[in-house]
Each structure stands twice: as C-alpha cells, then as structure tokens.
Amino acid sequence: MKFNYQIIKFFGPSIMKVEMPNDLVVRLNRYVDNIITDNKKKNSLNHGESLVGDVTEEFKLEEEFIRESEWGNFLAKCVHEWLKVELNKSITNFSIKNSWIVRQFENEYNPLHLHSGHISGAGFLKLPSFFGTTSQNKKTKDYFGGNLQLVHGNRMFLSNSIMNIKPKVGDFYFFPNYLMHCVFPFKGSKEERRSISFNAKIDDDIYNVYG
C-alpha cells in the first residue's frame, strides 16, 4: 500500500500527515453507511460513553473489519515509516487498542482532550460543503468552525502552541497519545462531519524514552 506523507514539526512533538488512499476512504465510508442503518449493530458498537465529545454518534470499528479492510495495515505501515524516519528505529509491535468513527453535526464539538495508548491519530472521511462564517462584526477574525486543533505547551517566543488543521477528506494525522486536541463546532449546514480515530501501542522500549 503506497501513501504520500509529510512530517510536521510545528511545535515539540513530531506529527505525521498522510493522504489516505482513496479506495480505503471509500471502504471506510461504505462500512459506516451500513452500520448507521443497523440499529442493533450500531448500539453494540457504541463508544459514546467512553469519549468526551458532544456529538451525535461515536462507535467502534469491528476488529474483523479493521483487519479485512486493510485499515489496520495502513495504520501500521504509516507508523512504522514515521518512526523509522524520526527515530531510525523499527517497531516490532503495533497493537490497535481501538478505532472509532465520530459523526458530528451542526453545533456539536469535541472539547480539549488526550488519548490512551502510545500513538493516536485522526482523519477525515466526509465533510460538509459549508462550515459557516464568522459574525458580521468579526470579519477580520479567522473562522475555526469544524477545524481540528492540536495543542502543546505554552505560546512563547519562537514557539507556537496551537496547530490549526482545516479538514480535508482523506487527510489523516498521526500524533503521540499525550498531545492535547479538540474539534470546534460548525454552523450553517445540516451535513455530516465524519472522522475516524485510533489508539495503538508500540514497543515499550521505543515509546519510553526515560528507560
């Protein structure tokens, strides 16, 4: 599986941005569309009580689907490449703890939070055609509706603390589990903002830099 990627060092932790293969995005969306029409299965996969977001729906991906769809393989290959480039080390363990879908609609949001495991990530499967605009008296302000923000440390001289990400279908961002992040609400559209995330563990001796 080939993929294009970029290593980003906007602040302290390294972040990897990857363009997901289009056929993988199609498979994931088809899976989600099937799940949301099956209330019994959707309820059995419900992940909302474990997550912090005020969103319409959050549900886990089935382990069998993660394996057969190549989603797990895609994540493993990306993380392996990322850590090989950044640390010149090859992981021998990549264990997905969970992977889930977030279905967000108008005025919903995900507050600032972090994840478990060692490696996490978030990407975009489906987006509204319109996220809204700033109020009339704030036209000079940036509008963050529907955006993902990664937060690390404090704003200091020559050091940013916030990386703002405008979502694009197929873009996926890998980051260390401890990196705080949030998603802003959007307005003016009844369409769905659909994202996918995961948590995974790698070799303890690679993750634990303190020995």
Please give the average per-residue pLDDT across 50-56, as a whole number. Answer: 79
Do residues 174 and 121 touch, judged by C-beta distance below 8 A?
A: yes
43 belongs to a structural domain? yes
208 belongs to a structural domain? no
| Cα distance between residue 100 and residue 147, in whole Å | 18
| Cα distance between residue 119 and residue 65, in whole Å | 20
- Give the contacts of 209 (CB within 8 A, at least 6 positions apart): none
Instruction: Provide the residue type at 121 as one letter.
Output: G
Task: Give the DSSP letter string of 37-52.
Answer: T-HHHHHHTB-GGGS-
Domain of residue 48: give its range. Answer: 4-203
DSSP state of 137: G
Residue 122 confidence (pLDDT) above 80: yes
Q: What CATH number has the domain bearing residue 149?
A: 2.60.120.620
Predicted TM-score of the model (pTM): 0.93
Tally of domains within the chain: 1
Rounded to an integer, what is the distance from CA 91 to the centroid of its chain? Answer: 21
DSSP state of 99: E
* pLDDT tens, residue by residue, 129-164: 999 887 755 665 788 999 999 999 888 887 889 999
